[in-house]
């Protein structure tokens, strides 16, 4: 196959420029996702680097090749920064600045002061390899199944690109000095740039795929989470309870359901305003989340009523947690626009140890216990197992 190096340079420059525009547009529509603008700038810099390399395909390259190498190094560094930003991780970029500085120093020295294309290409290839391997290492990590494909595709592309740079460095280092030159028609150069352009496509495609999966996950969360309190909503509760019940049945584990209700919530709204009432609900959820486990499931059931599902928990154990929640809510007033609002909650509890693993029955039992707590004066916890058959009949 006859590959022209000038054609490769133009192709990389144009493709990188188009990808830069694509990623910039994507960043405007996915403002909550970090890293897109880093990658947009990275593609733009790679485009500039490839474009500046085109006039360097002459026997006497000068500052243009130094600038081209600098842009390419900055583009690779921005890709790494984009990955870290996407993962919401702080990046200590001292070593990246060092790598870019080394590329500038090596390119300047071996282009303008001690011209040596072989040493320049070898050193720069190794530096680019290190940056790409760092990107690959940041992405090739254990992840949830829905994220794994996109992350590993992008990470594998970085790893392959790193290996290409290493192969290039080794080939150039051991090539006779008289036979190598960026402008010479040897197979290594066009093959290297052709492979690089293809891999850059895979990298950008992989990153866009990562963004797509992230946006899909966020949309799914938006559909499943109550916008006011951050608890799960009724729809997600209905879906999740079946999974939790199936797991409890499979493992022969207990499961408890709590129904929580803010006492005299209408009075709070009437006295302090609906926004103050919203703040009370937010504080209730914040208090509850500080006490429950990661595997527990808290959902807004309706209005000021919430449902808490506790896997691996019997009714007696759930009562201890419920009492902590009740005391916490009563002892922590809500502060809103200079107002101090004291609120209490009533809690009804039902456990599978007395009801069985039927979610409708557990909900009905927990609701009956909640009604019993309110009848008894509110600001208290009631267990379904303590309710007599006579009271249920009433």
Burial 341-362 (b: 16+ CB within 10 A, else e): bebebbbbbbbbeebebebeeb
Residues 326, 288: contact at Cβ < 8 Å? no
Residues 69, 108: contact at Cβ < 8 Å? no
Q: Show which residues are catalytic.
A: 304
One DSSP character per residue, 141-195 reads S---HHHHHHHHHHHHHHHHHHHHHHHHHHHHHHS-GGG--TTS--THHHHHHHH
Residues 159 and 155: their CA atoms lie apart, in Å, by 6
Residues 268, 341: contact at Cβ < 8 Å? yes
Strand-strand pairing, 381-383 and 345-351: parallel
Q: Which residue has the tokens 């409708």?
A: 360
Residue-level length of the chain: 394
Residues 379, 344: contact at Cβ < 8 Å? yes
């Amino acid at each position: 196959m006859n590959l022209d190096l000038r054609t490769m340079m133009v192709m990389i420059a144009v493709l990188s420029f188009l990808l830069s525009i694509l990623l910039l547009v994507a960043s405007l529509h996915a403002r909550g996702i970090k890293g897109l603008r880093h990658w947009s700038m990275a593609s733009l810099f790679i485009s500039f680097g490839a474009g500046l390399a085109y006039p360097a395909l002459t026997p006497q390259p000068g500052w243009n090749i130094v600038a081209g190498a600098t842009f390419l190094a900055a583009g690779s560094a921005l890709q790494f920064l984009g990955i870290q930003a996407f993962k919401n991780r702080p990046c200590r970029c001292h070593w990246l600045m060092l790598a870019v500085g080394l590329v500038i120093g090596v390119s300047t020295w071996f282009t303008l002061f001690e011209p040596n294309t072989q040493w320049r290409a070898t050193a720069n290839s190794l530096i680019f390899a290190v940056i790409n391997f760092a990107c690959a290492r940041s992405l090739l990590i254990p992840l949830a199944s829905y994220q794994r494909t996109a992350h590993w595709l992008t990470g594998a592309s970085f790893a392959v690109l790193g290996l290409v740079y290493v192969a290039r460095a080794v080939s150039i280092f051991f090539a006779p000095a008289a036979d190598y030159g960026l402008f010479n028609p040897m197979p290594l150069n066009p093959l290297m740039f052709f492979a690089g352009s293809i891999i850059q496509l895979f990298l950008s495609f992989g990153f866009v795929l990562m963004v797509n999966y992230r946006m899909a996950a966020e949309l799914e969360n938006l559909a499943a989470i109550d916008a006011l309190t951050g608890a799960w909503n009724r729809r997600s509760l209905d879906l999740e309870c079946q999974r939790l019940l199936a797991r409890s049945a499979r493992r022969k584990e207990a499961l408890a359901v709590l129904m929580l209700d803010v006492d005299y919530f209408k009075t709070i709204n009437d006295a302090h305003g609906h926004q103050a009432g919203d703040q009370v609900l937010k504080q209730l959820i914040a208090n509850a989340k500080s006490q429950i486990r990661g595997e527990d499931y808290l959902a807004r059931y309706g209005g000021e009523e919430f449902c808490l599902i506790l896997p691996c928990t019997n009714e007696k154990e759930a009562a201890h947690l419920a009492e902590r929640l009740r005391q916490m809510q009563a002892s922590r007033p809500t502060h809103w626009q200079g107002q101090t609002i004291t609120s209490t909650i009533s809690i009804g509890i039902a456990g599978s140890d007395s009801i069985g693993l039927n979610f409708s029955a557990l909900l009905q039992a927990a609701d009956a216990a909640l009604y019993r707590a309110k009848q008894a004066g509110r600001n208290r916890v009631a267990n379904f197992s303590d309710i007599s058959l006579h009271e249920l009949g009433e």
